[in-house]
Amino acid sequence: MHDIRAIRENPAAFDANLARRGADPVSSSILSLDEQRRAAIHAAETAQAEQNKASKEVGKAKASGDETEFERLRALVAEKKAEVAEMQARAKDLDAQLAGILMTLPNLLHGDVPNGADETDNVEIRRWGTPRGFDFQPKEHFEIDGVKPGMDFETAAKLSGSRFVVLSSGIARLHRALAQFMLDTHITDHGLAETWTPVLVREDMMLGTGQLPKFGEDSYQTTNGWWLVPTAEVTLTNIVNGLTVDEDYLPRRYVAHTQCFRSEAGSAGKDTAGMLRQHQFEKVEMVSVTHPDRSMEEHERMTRCAEAILEKLGLPYRTVVLCSGDIGFGAIKTHDIEVWLPGQDTYREISSVSVCGDFQARRMNARFRPAGGGKPEFVHTLNGSGLAVGRCLIAVLENGQQADGSVDLPQALHPWLGSKTRLLADGTLA
């Protein structure tokens, strides 16, 4: 959500920033609606004042016995009352129109975001690890012999359709161990507060974090109006929805492991093989709520939290800054972390860490009281995957695969696997 006052003060800068995303200029239409809305509010206030004045005079005319003046004033009161109602209704309608437009506009970009058209223009800022050399042709995760017994797409298709999977035996345990490892690392090493939240939310919660109204087709809605969360960003961020907290409440740093649901409406035919892109998946999500002065610093800290998971697992990765044509709707700046997948011979996204400024806070009306006094201000919000569990499973399997169909598992996971160190070619852990 945007601050209408900022648009009034510098409409050209507003349009120029949106143009970096490829959006058309909109400030003139917004300001036209805003001017009409303010004119209607002023007209309602003027008519209300005239109504109040006439109401006071009615009694005097009645007391003086001036019946003609009494009737004139009484008619004037009725006229002004109707005018007030009409102008208030018009102002309310224009306000709804204005809010509707503002709710569909993406966030303004931070000055550090590079210009670009798509993901090919993202800018790499660092790499970690060296991709392993193989003396055989590495396979994609679903082709590895030890993986096949525990990753069943046919049964999932029978149960639910395409883009679902049934995990079992060693693969299911490895998947669970990864989530537990991530949670425990974030809690113990990074100081995040473990949180468990619902996966069904009310519509205004989806509005608060920007999934609605523009991206409704990307999520699932139940017949009674709940929405299935696309990520725990929705629930964790909305913890502060409608609140005004003290400054010393900040920062709040949350982490949650949840099921996530996405319709993948815009990705037909993309990544259909394996479990890279599923309708139902799991993520360990990080959310921070911060003071505005410290949100960019927090962005770097959150990125390091996600990178640390990959480093502990020994998985090579690269971190990129998303360009203006690839960044998400609600972000002012985003780091994507891409893990190396030898089966595809490329890096693939495993985490997006975004700072949203006050964009979500305005939609949620989430504020803080400055410690030194003064008017409450909007908080800043951030979110990021720490990590996508399924994609991390893919990376562990592909990077650890052996020529005999087994998989060597990262040492960091051994305590969460009952000291098991390998996935054997028959799908069992040993």
Binding residues: 231-233, 262-264, 285, 349-352, 383, 385
User: Do 317 and 387 meet the contact criterion of CB atoms below 8 Å apart?
Assistant: no
Rg for the chain, CA atoms, rounded: 28
Helical segments of 286-364, H only: 295-313, 359-364
At 174 the three-state DSSP class reads helix
**Which residues are paired to 256 by β-bridges?**
285
List the structure tokens of 60: 């005097």
Nearest-angstrom CA–CA distance, 307 and 332: 20
Nearest-angstrom CA–CA distance, 415 and 404: 25
- Cite the annotated binding site for ATP by residue number: 262-264, 349-352
The DSSP result for 113-139, as a single string, is: SPP-SSGGG-EEEEEES-PPP-SS-PP
List the structure tokens of 129: 């690890």
Nearest-angstrom CA–CA distance, 289 and 209: 13
Nearest-angstrom CA–CA distance, 103 and 207: 8
List the structure tokens of 80: 């002004």
Question: How many CB atoms sit inside 10 A of residue 111's CB?
Answer: 8
User: Do 34 and 2 meet the contact criterion of CB atoms below 8 Å apart?
Assistant: no
- Cite the annotated binding site for L-serine by residue number: 231-233, 262, 285, 383, 385
DSSP 141: G
User: Do 336 and 322 meet the contact criterion of CB atoms below 8 Å apart?
Assistant: yes
User: Do 265 and 217 meet the contact criterion of CB atoms below 8 Å apart?
Assistant: yes
**Which residues are paired to 333 by β-bridges?**
355
**Which residues are paired to 257 by β-bridges?**
284
User: Do 380 and 358 meet the contact criterion of CB atoms below 8 Å apart?
Assistant: yes
Nearest-angstrom CA–CA distance, 53 and 47: 10
- E strands, 166-278, are 166-167, 193-194, 200-201, 220-221, 227-228, 244-246, 252-261
* Among candidate residues 325, 330, 373, the one with its CA nearest the CA of residue 353: 330
